[in-house]
Amino acid sequence: MKVLKFGGTSVGTPQRMKDVARLITEDAQPKMVVLSAMSGTTNTLVEISDYLYKKNPEGANNVINRLEQKYLGHVDELYSSDEWRQRTTDFLKEEFDYLRSFAKVLFTSFEEKVILAQGELISTNMFTNYLLEQGVDAVLLPALDMIRTDKNAEPDLAYIGKQAEAMLTANPDKQLYITQGFICRNAYGEIDNLQRGGSDYTACLLGAALNAEEIQIWTDIDGMHNNDPRIVEGTEPVRQLHFEEAAELAYFGAKILHPTCIQPAKFAGVPVRLLNTMEPDAPGTIINNHLHRGTIKAVAAKDNIICIGIQSSRMLLAHGFLRKVFEIFETYHTSIDMICTSEVGVSVTVDSRKNLDRITDELRKYGTVTVEDNMCIVCVVGDLAGENVGFETLATDALRNIPVRMISYGGSAHNISFLVNGDDKQRTLQALQQILFTYDGHVRRPS
Ligand code: ADP
Ligand code: ASP
Ligand code: MG
């Protein structure tokens, strides 16, 4: 069994859906196909929720009506028979009436999550209907009965495995299973999601739970590039990444992968392949257990980072000081990305403003606290084990003209991270591109 995930752009128009249908039916191998919402839909659902939060039902209804017209327009293009056009139109009418019904209820984060779930519910229904119209023997499996998070909002892998196996057993004669990415139920049985971009995570969770042969993430680019193609010109695809390297790149901002989706695949040892729906024959990127010694693979950047500094000449050397600092972050369920210490201070970074005031208030018991906003972590990833002399010098040399607030090296053998001001992000990424990668995308070795 392979698990294939197609992102928003890959199912973004009726023609794209037809292309995906062709791609997954080219051979008769068993497949679990995970779909995102059609591109732009989740953003529109967020916009609808914003109107409802602001108690502006008219604003919400205008957006809902526009989205409905767009979807009804897709029906004519996607189906060739009146029967499937009618069935899908009826389904869409029900969906959009349901969306309109939220104007009458008290709007909370619970309702918002229900609204956000509709994009994937719609895309998978439309796609499965298309397959059935084409005579393909596919079955739609509800992700809401398969994917669940626990009380810590972490995926419950044992439950996912049990449910997914049960659903496959209940459909023994099928080879093609379709399901929704992104959406899940939480530990209280409520509709929830795996955060934006979470369809990648669904695919990796299912791939790990089912011990799949391979997880394929199909998107709109030919694999993981060695730098952010939205910001830097001349980036190149990286053909192979170790699980750890891919996990670091995803966590530190390479948008092609959801930040934590690699973890389950890594633990289960299931390779992940990144492929381009627009160019299905391109090699893409394979992520597996192989470590290519002595190479820097890629650079990524994570925005909206907050740097918190605690200066305390009195306390820092005292044993137990760092524990007290970390306990404050733990109390507020806030994870730290980077950390640097000296004899008189410690600086950490976080990626959320939630509880920031309470955290800094408590930290003030232990020293002078500073907060710097709009920072950016730039992360250089590859085989950066200590014995690879010269790689860290290459990276720091690239940043010789850029003010660097923190450097973290040695936390893992795969990453050097730099904290820079958000306004310097672009020139930092460009400078690293020039120094680390030659014109053909190969790493420049330290001389
Ligand atoms: P999908 O909707 O298929 O999930 P995403 O938009 O989430 O697609 O991810 C693909 C996009 O990620 C690419 O179009 C590209 O702009 C962006 N991206 C950012 N960093 C990288 C990178 N290092 N390599 C490849 N793509 C990247
Ligand atoms: N549709 C969701 C989003 O836009 C999930 C995904 O596409 O992966 O974030
Ligand atoms: Mg994505």
CA of 18 to the centre of ligand 3 (A): 20
Q: Between helices 109-133 and 82-101, what is the axis angle to 10°?
A: 180
User: What confidence score (pLDDT) does residue 445 get?
Assistant: 58
Range 94-105 average pLDDT? 94
pLDDT higher than threshold 80 for residue 268: yes
Mean pLDDT computed over 353-359: 96
Residue 186 confidence (pLDDT): 98
Section 145-159 average pLDDT: 97
Residue 440 has pLDDT above 70, yes or no: no
C-beta 198 within 6 A of ligand 2: yes
Query: Is the pLDDT confidence value at 5 over 60?
Result: yes
Q: Cα of 112 to ligand 2 centre, how many Å?
A: 15
- Both tokens assigned to 203: 């695919």
Q: Which atom of ligand 2 is nearest to the CA of 199?
A: 8
Please give the mean pLDDT across all residues of the chain. 94
Res. 319: pLDDT tops 80 = no
pLDDT, position 388: 78
Residue identifier of the C-alpha nearest atom 4 of ligand 2: 42
Report CA(297)–ligand 2 centroid distance (Å). Answer: 26
For residue 72, pLDDT beyond 70: yes
Ligand 2 atom having least distance to the Cα of 194: 5
Rounded distance from Cα 415 to ligand 2 centre (Å) = 27
Q: Best mutation site among 6, 43, 256, 433 for ligand 1, i.e. most ligand atoms within 8 A of its Cβ?
A: 256
Residue 439: pLDDT band by 50, 70, 90 thresholds? very low
- CA dist., res. 42 & res. 275, Å (int): 22
* CA 409 – CA 380 distance, rounded (Å): 10
Q: How far apart are CA 431 and CA 423, in angstroms?
A: 14
How many angstroms is it from 221 CA to the middle of ligand 1? Answer: 7
- Position in ligand 2 atom list of the atom nearest CA 197: 8
Ligand 2 center–CA 184 separation, angstroms:
13
Annotate 294-343 with DSSP letters as a single string. Answer: T-EEEEEEEEEEEEEEEE-TTTTTSTTHHHHHHHHHHHTT-----EEE-S
Nearest CA to ligand 2 atom 8: 197
**Over the stretch 26-41, which tens digit does the pLDDT of each residue have?**
999 999 999 999 999 9
| Ligand 1 geometric centre to CA of 7 (Å) | 10
Q: What pLDDT, on the 0 to 100 scale, is given for residue 304?
A: 97
Q: What is the Cα 31 distance to its own chain's centre?
A: 22
State what percent of residues in the chain have pLDDT above 90: 87
| Average pLDDT, integer, range 111-119 | 98
**Residue 315 binned pLDDT confidence (cut-offs 50, 70, 90):** low
Comparing 316 with 377, the larger pLDDT belongs to: 377
Which tokens go with 92? 């869409």
DSSP per-residue codes, 384-425: --TTSTTHHHHHHHHTTTS-EEEEEESSSTTEEEEEEEGGGH
Q: Number of C-alpha atoms within 13 angstroms, CB side, residue 336?
A: 21
Asked whether 125 and 88 are in contact (CB, 8 A), the reply is: yes
Measured from the Cα of 223, ligand 1's closest atom is 25
Dump pLDDT digits (tens) for 358-398.
999 999 998 999 999 999 999 999 988 877 788 888 899 99
Residue count of the chain, please give it: 447
pLDDT for the residue 392: 85
Element (H, E) at 264: helix 262-268
Q: Which atom of ligand 2 is nearest to the CA of 196?
A: 9
pLDDT digits (tens, 9 = 90+) for 388-429: 788 888 899 999 999 999 999 988 899 999 999 999 999 999
Residue bearing tokens 């590039």: 225
Nearest CA to ligand 1 atom 3: 7
